[in-house]
């Protein structure tokens, strides 16, 4: 990586150092993608991986910025983040004789970023890749930290590898085209960052929610500081624990039960919506076992509700099925599931236990039974 000094001068640009790479946040950054790529990830050839919906919106501009780079597409949606799609993209690259001097560019949301990153991590034992997130959730979470993976019928993200990007290029203007449901789903991760690390940040998000939920250019302006602060929080955590052996586990708040909800719903629910439900349930779980301050769960539920996201389990999801799904999660240890649980808004519990807190099935069942009544 050449570094931030080699980046183009973009009006309103902000750069955040993330260890081996730099994150560029700037309106209009997509048009400067080629310059940023050549500065931070020089290559003989660039190949863009995206989905059909994003390709229709931004594929042409991305290709032009990268000097006519080839574009491979997958169908949109979590259901297509599979080993089959990984194989299809990899085979296309092999057929077109892409070498080890190739850089993969992930243009899309979290699904594309995870899949394209996994392609890059495994292609010819690993080539660099650039994240160009197009959704709020990907901008503030999925594109940061080097997790790449595909889903399996057993569970989400169970086949993957850590592979840090060579650069992340965030263009907030892309959010103008984002459907309201996708925007709300991204807010789930921003709210999570406030809960786990910064109570004042959570308050700022809640103050700006009316503008953000209204959409349009005003929403994009309001989201720029949200994007930057969430990235700062996540990069700070990842810098301390790149491979999730300790403190990085706090980023899993809401994800243990959230992933189970996604799996049982066959990924028809947006990831952020499932995480929102997971945060509400897991905060209740923390209060039940005595590691979370009273009133925290109510505050989490109100933040989720204010963002327009669900707070209760979908109809038809039983406690036993959810419990079974959590056992296939990466966070299970010695047959028992570990949870990342808040101590209060702005701080996480469990430091003395390595940030993962084992919870009994009986306690989880009790919380899920209560949730089913509320739903």
Q: Which residues are catalytically annotated?
A: 125, 147, 189, 234, 244, 248, 252, 255, 259, 271
Contact 151, 81 (CB under 8 A): yes
User: How many C-beta neighbours within 10 Å does residue 128 have?
Assistant: 24
Contact 322, 367 (CB under 8 A): no
Alpha-carbon gap, residue 60 to 48, rounded angstroms: 11
Alpha helix (H) residue ranges in the chain: 33-40, 52-54, 60-65, 83-95, 110-122, 136-137, 180-197, 199-214, 216-240, 255-264, 271-289, 296-306, 319-327, 361-374
Three-class secondary structure of residue 348 per DSSP: strand
Closest CA to 18 of 204, 227, 237: 237
Alpha-carbon gap, residue 319 to 364, rounded angstroms: 8
Residue 81 corresponds to which tokens in the numbers above?
């983040």
Contact 197, 247 (CB under 8 A): no
What one-character-per-residue DSSP string does 12-67 give? Answer: T-EEEEETTEEEEE-TTGGGGHHHHHHHHS--SEEEEEEEHHHIIIIIHHHHHHTT
């Amino acid at each position: 990586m050449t570094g931030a000094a080699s980046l183009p001068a973009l009006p309103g640009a902000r750069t955040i150092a993330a260890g081996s790479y730099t994150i560029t946040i700037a309106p209009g950054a997509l048009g400067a993608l080629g310059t940023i790529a050549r500065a931070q990830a020089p290559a003989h050839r660039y190949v863009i991986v995206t989905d059909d919906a994003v390709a229709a919106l931004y594929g042409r501009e991305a290709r032009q910025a990268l000097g006519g780079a080839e574009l491979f597409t997958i169908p949109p949606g979590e259901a297509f983040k599979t080993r089959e799609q990984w194989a299809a993209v990899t085979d296309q690259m092999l057929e077109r004789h892409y070498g080890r001097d190739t850089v993969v560019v992930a243009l899309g949301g979290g699904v594309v970023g995870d899949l394209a990153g996994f392609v890059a991590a495994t292609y010819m034992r690993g080539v660099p890749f650039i994240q160009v997130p197009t959704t709020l959730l990907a901008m503030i979470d999925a594109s940061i930290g080097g997790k790449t993976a595909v889903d399996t019928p057993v569970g989400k993200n169970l086949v993957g590898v850590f592979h840090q990007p060579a650069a992340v290029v965030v263009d907030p203007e892309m959010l103008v085209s984002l459907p309201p449901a996708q925007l709300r789903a991204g807010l789930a991760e921003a709210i999570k960052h406030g809960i786990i690390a910064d109570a004042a940040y959570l308050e700022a998000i809640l103050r700006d929610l009316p503008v953000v939920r209204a959409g349009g250019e005003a929403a994009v302006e309001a989201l720029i500081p949200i994007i930057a602060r969430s990235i700062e929080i996540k990069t700070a955590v990842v810098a301390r624990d790149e491979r999730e052996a300790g403190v990085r586990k706090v980023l899993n708040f809401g994800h243990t039960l959230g992933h189970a909800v996604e799996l049982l719903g066959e990924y028809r629910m947006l990831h952020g919506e499932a995480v929102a439900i997971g945060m509400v349930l897991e905060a209740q779980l923390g209060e039940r076992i005595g590691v979370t301050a009273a009133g925290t769960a109510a505050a989490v539920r109100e933040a989720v509700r204010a963002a327009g996201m669900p707070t209760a389990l979908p109809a038809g999801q039983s406690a036993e099925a959810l419990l079974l799904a959590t056992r296939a999660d990466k966070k299970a240890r010695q047959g028992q599931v570990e949870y990342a649980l808040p101590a209060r808004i702005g701080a996480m519990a469990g430091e003395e236990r390595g940030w993962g807190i084992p919870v009994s099935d009986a306690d989880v069942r009790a919380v899920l039974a209560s949730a089913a009544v509320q739903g």
